[in-house]
């Protein structure tokens, strides 16, 4: 019966990050610097709010879009933090940013339309786009410090282009776009029949200045994706948000309703605590990530590796092109000979080939041990 599985589903693959992790996870004494989730526990007051929700029997379905107080808190949060104005009927609480992306693409993508993505990029977009019968079109950003720009986008625009994904701060590269860069993209796209899907899941983890959203200049054409997985160390609670004008959310809510009815009520109560009493919870984590980033960045530079200095998220993306191996072979060799796991860059599209991703969502102690091992390995390689 397997031949009756939909060809689009058969044609997509498990993410390269997971595949590599599953392959090497059982190796004894391995230091893994692969995982893209915070290593801090969820703040105590958020956990308490979740427990209270259970005790108070807040355990039934909520409004499909999330209960009103939470939606209002989400709107207040992004107004205060990023100057974005949305009404409570312009936000949907989703099952992580992942489901926000799924319902977004399913709401806006017709078959055969094209979606522009910067390469290298987070591997979560391509399969969702393909499941809609649409086509991912990669723009090589390597010569521009991994930053998508109006100049790079322009040659790819045609009558099939329906959407541009702006995933900044970026997983896997850690780079962000400046206000000017975002404004130029907004000017290029304004008035064309093209959506911007702005994945801002790392917006609270910016190390040099403020986070800016393109929605400030292009509200009517932008769908903003965000969530609490990274900012509040809540990956397992599965809370995401999608913000868009009401003429978008009124359609998107139908896809959401028939997909999940609503997000977990218990997680929603925890999310309310995160966005109100915990609206500055990310600060302490951010300062620790920054310290780790500075440490790991300088260690990689000292090893002679070429790497962009990140301005957000918790990843470094050094080039390993000088070693003449594929990123997969290099990463496997590092696992086998040095006992350190890094993600092969090829997991982030063909434009990630020649790089590896190092996550610094690990303690300084673990980072030091891992980087010591990597340094010894590279010395022996020379
Ligand atoms: C860029 C990006 N978008 C979305 C997600 C998914 O986030 P969530 O766990 O909230 O579904 C991730 C997770 O790693 C990510 O890196």
The predicted-structure confidence for 255-291, as pLDDT tens digits, reads as follows 999 999 999 999 999 999 999 999 999 999 999 999 9
Print the domain residue range for 346.
2-42+281-381
284's CB contacts (< 8 A; 6+ apart) are none
E strand map for the chain: 31-32, 91-94, 114-119, 135-140, 161-166, 195-199, 222-227, 240-243, 315-316, 340-341, 343-344, 356-359
The answer to whether residues 176 and 259 belong to one domain is yes
pLDDT band at residue 231 using 50, 70 and 90 as cut-offs: very high
Region 197-207: mean pLDDT is: 98
**Ligand 1 pocket: which of 93, 96, 204, 234 to mutate (most atoms within 8 A of CB):** 96
Look at residue 137 and tell me whether its pLDDT is greater than 80: yes
The answer to whether residues 289 and 194 belong to one domain is no
Question: Which of 227, 260, 275 delimits the end of a domain?
Answer: 275
Is residue 34 a part of any domain in this protein? Answer: yes
The answer to whether residues 143 and 77 belong to one domain is yes
Is residue 51 a part of any domain in this protein? Answer: no
Ligand 1 center to 227 CA (angstroms): 8
Ligand 1 atom nearest residue 235's Cα? 9
**Ligand 1 pocket: which of 21, 98, 348 to mutate (most atoms within 8 A of CB):** 98
The answer to whether residues 14 and 77 belong to one domain is no
Is residue 299 a part of any domain in this protein? Answer: yes
Ligand 1 center to 209 CA (angstroms): 22
Is residue 26 a part of any domain in this protein? Answer: yes
Look at residue 337 and tell me whether its pLDDT is greater than 80: yes
Q: What is the per-residue pLDDT across 173-200, written as a single tens digit (0 to 9) for each? A: 999 999 999 999 999 999 999 999 999 9
Looking at residue 349, its pLDDT comes to 97
pLDDT band at residue 129 using 50, 70 and 90 as cut-offs: very high
Region 241-247: mean pLDDT is: 98
The answer to whether residues 30 and 95 belong to one domain is no
Looking at residue 184, its pLDDT comes to 98
Query: What is the C-alpha separation between 361 and 39, in angstroms, rounded?
Result: 6
Is residue 292 a part of any domain in this protein? Answer: yes
Looking at residue 381, its pLDDT comes to 84
Q: What is the per-residue pLDDT across 37-90, written as a single tens digit (0 to 9) for each? A: 999 999 999 999 999 999 999 999 999 999 999 999 999 999 999 999 999 999
In residues, how long is the chain?
A: 382
Q: For ligand 1, which residues put their CB under 6 angstroms from it?
A: 36, 96-98, 122, 124, 167, 171, 199, 201, 227, 229, 235, 240
Q: What is the per-residue pLDDT across 341-363, written as a single tens digit (0 to 9) for each? A: 999 999 999 999 999 999 999 99
Region 146-156: mean pLDDT is: 98
pLDDT band at residue 321 using 50, 70 and 90 as cut-offs: very high
Look at residue 382 and tell me whether its pLDDT is greater than 80: no
Q: The domain that contains 107 carries what CATH number?
A: 3.40.640.10
Of all residues in the chain, what percent carry a pLDDT higher than 90? 94
């Amino acid at each position: 019966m397997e031949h009756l599985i939909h060809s689009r589903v058969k044609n997509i693959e498990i993410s390269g990050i997971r595949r590599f992790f599953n392959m090497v996870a059982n190796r004894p004494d391995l230091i893994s610097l692969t995982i893209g989730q915070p290593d801090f526990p969820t703040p105590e007051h958020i956990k308490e709010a979740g427990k209270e929700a259970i005790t108070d029997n807040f355990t039934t379905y909520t409004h499909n879009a999330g209960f009103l107080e939470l939606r209002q808190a989400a709107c207040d949060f992004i107004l205060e933090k990023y100057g974005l104005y949305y009404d409570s009927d312009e936000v949907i609480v989703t099952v992580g940013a992942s489901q926000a992306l799924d319902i977004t693409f399913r709401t806006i993508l017709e078959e055969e339309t094209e979606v522009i993505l910067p390469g290298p990029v987070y591997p979560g977009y391509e399969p969702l786009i393909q499941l809609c019968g649409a086509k991912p079109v990669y723009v090589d950003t390597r010569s521009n410090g991994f930053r998508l720009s109006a100049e790079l986008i322009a040659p790819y625009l045609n009558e099939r282009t329906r959407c541009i994904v702006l995933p900044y701060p970026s997983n896997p590269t850690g780079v962000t776009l400046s206000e000017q860069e975002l404004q130029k993209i907004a000017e290029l796209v304004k008035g064309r029949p093209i959506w911007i899907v702005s994945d801002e899941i790392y917006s609270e983890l910016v190390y040099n200045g403020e986070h800016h959203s393109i929605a400030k200049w292009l509200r009517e054409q932008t769908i903003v994706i965000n969530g609490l997985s990274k900012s509040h160390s809540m990956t397992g609670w599965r809370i995401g948000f999608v913000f868009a004008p009401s003429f978008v959310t009124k359609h998107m809510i139908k896809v959401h309703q028939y997909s999940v009815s609503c997000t977990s009520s218990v997680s929603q109560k925890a999310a309310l605590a995160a966005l109100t009493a915990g609206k500055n919870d990310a600060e302490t984590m951010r300062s620790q990530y920054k310290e780790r980033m500075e440490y790991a960045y300088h260690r990689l530079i000292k090893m002679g590796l070429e790497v962009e200095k990140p301005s957000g998220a918790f990843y470094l993306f050094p080039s390993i092109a000088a070693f003449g191996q594929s990123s997969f072979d290099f990463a496997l060799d590092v696992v086998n000979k040095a006992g350190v796991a890094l993600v092969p860059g090829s997991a982030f599209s063909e434009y990630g080939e020649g790089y590896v991703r190092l996550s610094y969502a690990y303690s300084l102690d673990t980072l030091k041990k891992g980087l010591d091992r990597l340094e010894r390995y590279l010395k022996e390689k020379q």
